[in-house]
Chain A
Amino acid sequence: MQKISRRQFLGYSMKTGAATLFTGILAPSASSFFGYGGVAAAATKKITPFTFAVLTDAHLYDIADHKFDKFLEKAVADVNSLNPLPDLLLYAGDIGQSGKEAELKKGKKILDKLKMPYKVIPGEHDYYLDMGAAWRGLFGDEHWSIDHKGVHIIGMNSILVPDFWSMAGLTPKERMGRMEELECHRCGLWGVGDKQLEWLEKDVKKLSPDTPVVIMTHSPLWSYYPRWNFQTYDAPEILSTLSKFEKVIAIHGHVHQVVYNQMGNVTSAGLLSTSWPWPYPPVDLPYPAIKMNRVDPGDFEDGLGSHQVSLGGDFAGEINYRAFSDLLPENVRRGVKL
């Protein structure tokens, strides 16, 4: 498939007749024609076009009829209503708030209403009460890979911090309490750790460079704002392992906001939560045009949403942020190219 630059792309899509030409090649949704973003690398092996959905950061509390329950339910209903129905759903972590099994069970019960299969990775809020025991019991492996219609999809646990609790004599609940604070004083930076790096190395070893790859982690694979762990300390190693591929799409939770970056062959997109939005940290965005608006604190659904990702035959991707309220500037509402 020949590479289409952003400029050419706009040029073509403005010609009326060209629309039909693109339907097959790109994604099934009409909004594909107006995709916005950097110029993603073109791929690779031909795949069967498909869509998948993404949800993240529900932060459910062990409190009956909590407002966050309804937001996750709403996101699940939204994804179920999509036409075409996404082939699968990826969930990018932080189902619970305080790592309690009851929170995770509540989340699983809601996610089980999905009409498509789903895959999950842990976030720090799911993990630090029992070091992931309850999570693993409910959702299985913390890292995994699947192959779907020619795309290799990887999920990894990126929230592993060095032990800060043993020396300090913290109880599991205290440890979780510290991790619950985004600006956790002295929790340290997190990453996937050596074992998962080795696993990743093996996992992609046999794949040819033209294989389309999607990777999901809880935190971004670039150094965005380390103080809030908007980073993964061993992301450089991950990116180096994935550097052999022509094109990789990376999606991540944790930031509760629209954010976008490109690192060589990797295009990265951050996701909306279904709990609360975060303001942008005090650093420059690499792609300042791809962001969300300020949020109305009186509208509890503002800043939240679900996502649909469309992949075309040449692995041209697009993410559609499906915000619950009027949150997105026009360019982002039209979809962001991945």
Chain B
Amino acid sequence: MKISRKAYPVRTLGTALLVTAALTTLVTGNVLAKPVRSDKQVAEERSALMAAVAKGDGLWHDGKLGSNGLACGNCHPDGSATNPHTFPKYQSNLGRVGTLREMINWCITVPMQGKPLAYDSAEMVAMEAYATFAHRGVAIAPAKDEQHGAVPVFGGPGYPQP
């Protein structure tokens, strides 16, 4: 179930169990900004993220973003060498500090000769989700000069599982 930002604190504060949990945490010294979420909510949020990653995975391997048949996956298998953990950083092709999204659009328009995505589109969020999820656990290091091989996103026979 989707919970709006407004409904969220009201609903959770009404749950006696969660209030107790929050108080316990306060007493033990861990200050929480918000009450603890239920396992169900956590699972729902996780599956919303995975849906975005899956959508990104689809776009990543879809030549339709470009006009010459190429897809991101041709050159960036598993999202490798997109280095999301190094952004924002100076991009010589932009001549200034740029973001991951700008670099995604640059690769769509230059090597793939396609049309850029709107920065706030669901597609762009999905692309970013896929690349970033493929680098989960990698330390954030803006401007780090690194070509990172990615962490595999999905498993398969003989392959490491997520």
B-binding residues in A (CB < 8 A): 59, 61, 63, 66-67, 97, 180-189, 226-228, 275-283, 294, 297-298, 300
Say yes or no: A182 contacts B73, CB within 8 Å: yes
Say yes or no: A189 contacts B157, CB within 8 Å: yes
Give B46-98 interface residues, CB cut-off 8 Å to A: 61, 68-70, 73-78, 80-81, 93
Say yes or no: A183 contacts B157, CB within 8 Å: no
Interface check B42, CB cutoff 8 A: no
In the assembled complex, which residues on chain A have CB atoms less than 8 Å from the CB atom of B107?
297
The answer for the CA separation of A226 and B158 in the assembled complex, in Å, is: 8
Say yes or no: A181 contacts B110, CB within 8 Å: no
Binds A, one of B16-24, B27-35, B146-154: B146-154
In the assembled complex, which residues on chain B have CB atoms less than 8 Å from the CB atom of A187?
156
The chain A residue sitting closest to B148, CB to CB, is: A282
Interface check B160, CB cutoff 8 A: yes
In the assembled complex, which residues on chain B have CB atoms less than 8 Å from the CB atom of A300?
111
The chain B residue sitting closest to A60, CB to CB, is: B69
Say yes or no: B61 contacts A181, CB within 8 Å: yes
The answer for the CA separation of A183 and B70 in the assembled complex, in Å, is: 16
| Size bin of chain B's contact surface | 20 to 34
Say yes or no: B75 contacts A228, CB within 8 Å: no
The answer for the CA separation of A294 and B61 in the assembled complex, in Å, is: 23
Task: Quote the shortest CB–CB distance from A189 to chain B (angstroms).
Answer: 5
The chain A residue sitting closest to B107, CB to CB, is: A297
Give B118-162 interface residues, CB cut-off 8 Å to A: 147-154, 156-160
In the assembled complex, which residues on chain B have CB atoms less than 8 Å from the CB atom of A298?
93, 110
Task: Quote the shortest CB–CB distance from B53 to chain A (angstroms).
Answer: 13
In the assembled complex, which residues on chain B have CB atoms less than 8 Å from the CB atom of A186?
156-157
Task: Quote the shortest CB–CB distance from A67 to chain B (angstroms).
Answer: 7
The answer for the CA separation of A184 and B152 in the assembled complex, in Å, is: 11
The chain A residue sitting closest to B63, CB to CB, is: A61
In the assembled complex, which residues on chain A have CB atoms less than 8 Å from the CB atom of B151?
282
Task: Quote the shortest CB–CB distance from A56 to chain B (angstroms).
Answer: 16
Say yes or no: B69 contacts A97, CB within 8 Å: yes
The chain A residue sitting closest to B103, CB to CB, is: A297
In the assembled complex, which residues on chain B have CB atoms less than 8 Å from the CB atom of A66?
68-69
Query: Main SS of the interface on chain A?
Result: loop
The answer for the CA separation of A59 and B93 in the assembled complex, in Å, is: 26
Task: Quote the shortest CB–CB distance from B115 to chain A (angstroms).
Answer: 17
Known A-B contacts A298-B93, A298-B110; the reply to A279 vs B160 at CB < 8 A is no
The chain A residue sitting closest to B134, CB to CB, is: A183
Say yes or no: A281 contacts B80, CB within 8 Å: yes
Contact of A61 among B69, B152, B160 (CB under 8 A): B69
The answer for the CA separation of A161 and B77 in the assembled complex, in Å, is: 19
In the assembled complex, which residues on chain A have CB atoms less than 8 Å from the CB atom of B159?
226-227
In the assembled complex, which residues on chain B have CB atoms less than 8 Å from the CB atom of A181?
61, 73, 77
In the assembled complex, which residues on chain A have CB atoms less than 8 Å from the CB atom of B148?
282
In the assembled complex, which residues on chain B have CB atoms less than 8 Å from the CB atom of A188?
156-158
Say yes or no: B77 contacts A278, CB within 8 Å: yes
Say yes or no: A280 contacts B147, CB within 8 Å: yes
The chain A residue sitting closest to B146, CB to CB, is: A294
Known A-B contacts A66-B68, A183-B78; the reply to A282 vs B150 at CB < 8 A is yes
In the assembled complex, which residues on chain B have CB atoms less than 8 Å from the CB atom of A184?
156
Say yes or no: A185 contacts B68, CB within 8 Å: no
The chain B residue sitting closest to A294, CB to CB, is: B147
Contact of B149 among A63, A97, A282 (CB under 8 A): A282
Say yes or no: A276 contacts B74, CB within 8 Å: yes
Task: Quote the shortest CB–CB distance from A50 to chain B (angstroms).
Answer: 35
Say yes or no: A61 contacts B68, CB within 8 Å: yes
In the assembled complex, which residues on chain B have CB atoms less than 8 Å from the CB atom of A227?
78, 152, 156, 159-160
A-B contacts, 22 listed (Cβ < 8 Å): A59-B74, A67-B68, A181-B61, A181-B73, A182-B73, A182-B77, A183-B153, A185-B154, A227-B152, A227-B160, A228-B78, A276-B70, A278-B75, A278-B77, A279-B149, A280-B147, A280-B149, A282-B150, A294-B147, A297-B106, A298-B93, A300-B111
